[in-house]
Amino acid sequence: MGRMNITRSDLAQAVDVAAQPLELAIVLPTFNERGNVAGMVERLDAALKGVVWEAIFVDDNSPDGTSDEARRLSLKDPRVRCIQRIGRRGLASAAIEGMCSTAAPVVAVMDADHQHDPELLPQMLKAVQSGDYDLAYASRFAEGASTEAWGRPDRVKASGIANRIANKVTGVELTDPMSGYFMLRTETLRADAHRLSGVGFKILLDILATVDRPLRVKEFPLHFAARAEGESKLDQTVVFEFLIGLYDKWLGRIIPTRFALFGTVGAMGVVVQLAALWMMLHVVFRERFVYGNWSESATFNVANTIAAVVAMTFNFVLNNELTYSDKRLRGFVPLMRGWAQFGVTCSLGLLTNIGSAAMLKTMGFHDVVAVVTGIILGSVWNFALSSKFVWGK
């Protein structure tokens, strides 16, 4: 076997692509989909006979070498392209970058794990090309749709609630606004691409909510297949994703979404520390107190130290799960190291907090101003340090 085995039909197709203008780009965001990529290209080829298309894999530097696999295919078939993103994660932002990287007049986004049936593409293309519709998409909940396998049953239920809010926000009645399989004219997308949020995975919903005029949408019932290889990467519930999306859309430009999450977790940490302190004093250390082994202040200091460590641990776990879910630390050693680093970061943050408040106080500022400024500066410091050293690379 040669290094590249190009068949006569491959060559004919390549000539075709060169001769006719590109009609359709299919964007396939990937993370650890090495085993699915080649099969996807074969299925696209089979489904799109007579259409001039290109497939763009947008891979977030998958450890399993998905990008290498896509490049290998690209050398055999120039209709396959690969965008390898370094140091970034996220389905929505990958989809946006892929959609903006094509010259094709129409673009589709679909999953690369074979859950989305490529046989729908020609019908979707027809609907968009006809000019009767601005957007075509595949719905898991439309009349006639079916679901082979839900990785997570909780998603199904969550979808119902989220869908209703989504329909309110976008002004379009869709049975499945969280769908990851859709097609539209690239000019429609480009006109508003700079206003898309790019956070999380609800990209279709984001497009519908961002474009000012209501889009004419054609729905196609989808047979949602079971995933071919590997496992799902979207582990957050649709509802959480949805709330984050709303926040990002409305306030994300003023206070960045990640910082807002970090701050919210921090505020919850304050409540946790107070609760833990109360528990320590009234339940755990009650006896020592009552029988007088320890002085009142010693008891308080020990109890508060433990409460602070509890709160710090709580914050670490929540930030790891939510704020930095895309860079989540896993495994015993990375988690312990991260926890210790987070502890150091928080201690420095506390010094910043108290130090700046003390400084403002001596400068004659009101107590509240001094304390609040201290809290803000401490949080910014914590955020900057932890995103660089705890969840950085």
Residues near ligand GDD (CB under 6 A): 29-31, 33, 58-60, 89-91, 94, 111-113, 115, 151, 155, 178, 180, 201, 227, 232-234, 238
DSSP state letters, 233-246? ---S-HHHHHHHHH
Shortest approach of Mn ion to residue 266 CB, angstroms? 33
Q: Please, what is the minimum distance in Å from the beta carbon of residue 178 to ligand GDD?
A: 4
Q: Binding partner of residue 234 among Mn ion, ligand GDD, none, CB under 5 to 8 Å per kind? A: ligand GDD
Q: Is 248 in the site for Mn ion (CB under 5 A)?
A: no
State in angstroms the smallest separation of the CB of 51 from Mn ion. Answer: 24
Tokens of 46: 């089979």
CA-closest candidate to residue 66, choices 112, 100, 26, 115: 112
Q: Which of 91/272 has CB closer to ligand GDD? A: 91
Q: Which is nearer to ligand GDD, 142 or 234 (CB)?
A: 234
Q: Nearest Cα to 61, choosing from 330, 386, 326? A: 326
* Min dist. Cβ of residue 234 to Mn ion (A): 8
Closest CB to ligand GDD: residue number? 180
* C-alpha–C-alpha distance, residues 132 and 217, integer Å: 9
What are the percentages of helix, strand and coil residues in the chain, rounded to 5?
60, 10, 30
Length of the chain measured in residues = 393
User: Whose Cβ is closer to ligand GDD: residue 48's or residue 70's?
Assistant: 70
Nearer to ligand GDD, 45 or 113 (CB): 113
Token pair, residue 211, equals 């474009």
Paired with 220 in beta bridges are 138
Q: Which residues contact 244 (CB under 8 A, 6 or more apart)?
A: 199, 200, 257, 261
Do residues 83 and 58 lie in contact, with contact meaning Cβ atoms separated by under 8 Å? yes
CA distance to 28, 56, 137, 216, 276, per residue, from 182 (Å) = 11, 15, 4, 13, 49
Of 159 and 356, the one with the shorter C-beta distance to ligand GDD is: 159
Instruction: State the minimum distance, in angstroms, from the CB of residue 227 to Mn ion.
Output: 5
Q: Look at residue 180 and give the partner it binds from ligand GDD, Mn ion, none, a contact being a CB closer than 5 to 8 Å depending on partner kind.
A: ligand GDD
Those residues with Cβ within 8 angstroms of residue 133's Cβ, 6 or more apart along the chain or in another chain: 127, 216, 217, 218
Residue with smaller CB distance to ligand GDD, 70 or 178: 178
Mark 25-64 with x for binding to Mn ion (rule: CB under 5 A) and - for no binding: ----------------------------------------
Considering beta carbons, is residue 198 or 349 the nearer one to ligand GDD? 198
* CB-CB contact of 273 with 311 (8 Å): yes
**Residue whose CB is less far from Mn ion, 235 or 321:** 235
Q: Which of ligand GDD, Mn ion, none sits in contact with 72, Cβ below 5 to 8 A by type? A: none
Shorter beta-carbon distance to ligand GDD: residue 189 or 375: 189
Site map (CB under 5 A) of Mn ion, residues 92-131, x = contact: -------------------x-x-x----------------
Q: Which two tokens stand for residue 334?
A: 């990375």
DSSP SS3 for 93: helix
Judged by CB under 5 A, the stretch of 27-35, 117-125, 221-229, 335-343 that binds Mn ion is 221-229
Single-letter amino acid, residue 182 = F
Which does residue 60 touch among ligand GDD, Mn ion, none (CB within 5 to 8 A, set by kind)? ligand GDD
| Partner interacting with residue 176 (select from Mn ion, ligand GDD, none; CB below 5-8 Å by kind) | none
What number of H helices and E strands is found in the chain? 14, 9
Q: Which stretch binds Mn ion (CB under 5 A): 25-33, 202-210, 223-231, 282-290?
A: 223-231
Only one residue has tokens 């790019």, namely 198
Q: Which residues pair with 370 in a beta bridge?
A: none
Applying CB under 5 A, which residues contact Mn ion?
A: 111, 113, 115, 227
